[in-house]
Structure 1
Amino acid sequence: MTRVSLLLPLLVFLLLGLAGCRCPTPATPAAPSRRPLRTVVVISLDGFRHDYAERAGASAAPTFARIEREGARAKRLIPPFPSQTFASHATLATGVRPAKHGILNNSFRDRRRGRYRQEDDVSWYDAPPLWIHAQRLGLRSHVYHWPSSSGAWHGTEPAFWRLFNRHVRDDEKVGAIIDWLRRPAATRPALIMSYFFGCDREGHDHGPDSPEVARCVRETDKRVARLVSAVSAAHAALVIVSDHGMTKTLGEINAQRALDAAGIRGEVLSAGPIGHVYLDARADLERARVALAKLPHLAVRLPDALPRYQHPTRSGDLVLVAEAGYRLQPKLAGLSGGPTAGGHHGHDPNHPHMPGVFYLFGDGVARGAKIASARAIDVVPTVCKLLGIAPPTGAEGKVIEAALR
Structure 2
Amino acid sequence: MTRILAWLLAFALPALVGCSEAPPRDDAAARAPLILISIDGFRADYLQRGLTPTLAALAADGVHAEAMQPSFPSITFPNHYTLVTGLYPDHHGIVHNTMQDPALGRFALGNRAAVGDGRWWAEGEPIWVTAEKQGLHTATMFWPGSEAAIHGVRPDHWHPYDGDVAPRTRVDQVLAWLDLPATQRPAFITLYFDAVDGAGHWHGPDSPELNAALRDTDAALARLVDGLRRRGLYDRVNLVIVSDHGMTATPPAQTIYLDDLIDLSDVDVVTYDVPAELNPKPEHAAAVARALLAPHPHLRCYARDALPARLHYGGNPRVAAIVCIPDDGWLVSTHARQAKRKRALLGEHGYDNDDPAMRALFVAHGPDFRRGVVLPEFPNVDVYPLLAHLLGIRPQPNDGDLTPLRGALAMPATAMHR
TM-score by length of 1: 0.84
- Distance in structure 2 (CA, Å) of the matches to 1:267 and 1:237: 46
Residue 62 of structure 1 corresponds to 53
Residue 215 of structure 2 corresponds to 218
Check conservation: 1:48, 1:198, Cα contact below 8 A: no
Per-residue deviation at 1:254? 3.2
Structure 2 residue runs of 5 or longer lacking an equivalent are 1-22, 411-418
Q: 2:314 matched to 1:310?
A: yes
Give the 3-state SS of the residue equivalent to 2:325 in structure 1. Answer: strand
Q: Which amino acid aligns with 1:369?
A: V
- Distance in structure 2 (CA, Å) of the matches to 1:331 and 1:124: 32
Give the 3-state SS of the residue equivalent to 2:74 in structure 1. Answer: coil
Per-residue deviation at 1:179? 1.1
Give the 3-state SS of the residue equivalent to 2:115 in structure 1. Answer: coil
Cα distance change of structure 1 residues 312 and 382 upon mapping to structure 2, 3 Å threshold: closer
Cα deviation code 1:271-308 (max 9, x no counterpart): 53212212331x42221123334754221211111251
Residue 243 of structure 2 corresponds to 242
Residue 387 of structure 2 corresponds to 383
Cα deviation code 1:127-164 (max 9, x no counterpart): 10111111111111111220232121112221112222
Q: Between Structure 1 and Structure 2, how many residues are aligned?
A: 367
Alignment of 1:193-208 (within 5 A): 193-208=190-205
Q: What do you get for the CA RMSD once the two structures are aligned?
A: 2.3
Residue 257 of structure 2 corresponds to 254
- Distance in structure 2 (CA, Å) of the matches to 1:398 and 1:268: 38
- Distance in structure 2 (CA, Å) of the matches to 1:31 and 1:253: 56
Q: Identity of paired residues, percent?
A: 34
Q: 2:120 matched to 1:124?
A: yes
Q: 2:141 matched to 1:138?
A: no
Residue 14 of structure 2 corresponds to none
Higher mean alpha-carbon deviation, 304-313 vs 341-350, is at: 304-313
Check conservation: 1:50, 1:355, Cα contact below 8 A: yes
Give the 3-state SS of the residue equivalent to 1:91 in structure 2. Answer: helix
Structure 1 residue runs of 5 or longer lacking an equivalent are 1-29
Check conservation: 1:249, 1:325, Cα contact below 8 A: yes
Cα distance change of structure 1 residues 79 and 32 upon mapping to structure 2, 3 Å threshold: same
- Distance in structure 2 (CA, Å) of the matches to 1:75 and 1:288: 41
Residue 12 of structure 1 corresponds to none
Q: 2:48 matched to 1:40?
A: no
Residue 403 of structure 1 corresponds to 408
Q: 1:191 aligns with which of 188, 191, 207?
A: 188
Cα distance change of structure 1 residues 284 and 397 upon mapping to structure 2, 3 Å threshold: farther
- Distance in structure 1 (CA, Å) of the matches to 2:98 and 2:334: 13
Residue 158 of structure 2 corresponds to 161
Cα deviation code 1:320-371 (max 9, x no counterpart): 1112211223465679x9xx67111111112111011111112211111111
Q: Which amino acid aligns with 2:286?
A: E
Q: Which amino acid aligns with 1:120?
A: V
Q: 1:347 aligns with which of 343, 348, 351?
A: 351
Residue 284 of structure 2 corresponds to 284
Residue 6 of structure 1 corresponds to none
Check conservation: 2:171, 2:191, Cα contact below 8 A: no
Q: Which amino acid aligns with 2:163?
A: R
Check conservation: 1:88, 1:243, Cα contact below 8 A: yes
Q: 2:368 aligns with which of 364, 371, 376?
A: 364
Residue 83 of structure 1 corresponds to 74
Check conservation: 2:193, 2:217, Cα contact below 8 A: no
Give the 3-state SS of the residue equivalent to 1:135 in structure 2. Answer: helix
Q: 1:53 aligns with which of 40, 47, 60?
A: 47
Give the 3-state SS of the residue equivalent to 2:44 in structure 1. Answer: coil
Higher mean alpha-carbon deviation, 147-156 vs 236-245, is at: 147-156
Check conservation: 1:231, 1:237, Cα contact below 8 A: no
- Distance in structure 2 (CA, Å) of the matches to 1:94 and 1:344: 25
Q: Which amino acid aligns with 2:369?
A: V
Check conservation: 1:106, 1:271, Cα contact below 8 A: no
- Distance in structure 1 (CA, Å) of the matches to 2:269 and 2:182: 50
Residue 92 of structure 1 corresponds to 83
Cα distance change of structure 1 residues 312 and 197 upon mapping to structure 2, 3 Å threshold: closer
Higher mean alpha-carbon deviation, 268-277 vs 72-81, is at: 268-277
Cα deviation code 1:306-327 (max 9, x no counterpart): 2511234212121111122112
Check conservation: 2:258, 2:332, Cα contact below 8 A: yes
- Distance in structure 2 (CA, Å) of the matches to 1:131 and 1:256: 44
- Distance in structure 1 (CA, Å) of the matches to 2:259 and 2:95: 19
Regions of 4+ moved over 4 Å: 330-335
Residue 24 of structure 1 corresponds to none
- Distance in structure 2 (CA, Å) of the matches to 1:222 and 1:209: 20
Q: Which amino acid aligns with 1:39?
A: P
Give the 3-state SS of the residue equivalent to 2:300 in structure 1. Answer: strand
Higher mean alpha-carbon deviation, 215-224 vs 164-173, is at: 164-173
Per-residue deviation at 1:85? 0.7
Give the 3-state SS of the residue equivalent to 2:244 in structure 1. Answer: coil
- Distance in structure 1 (CA, Å) of the matches to 2:86 and 2:398: 8
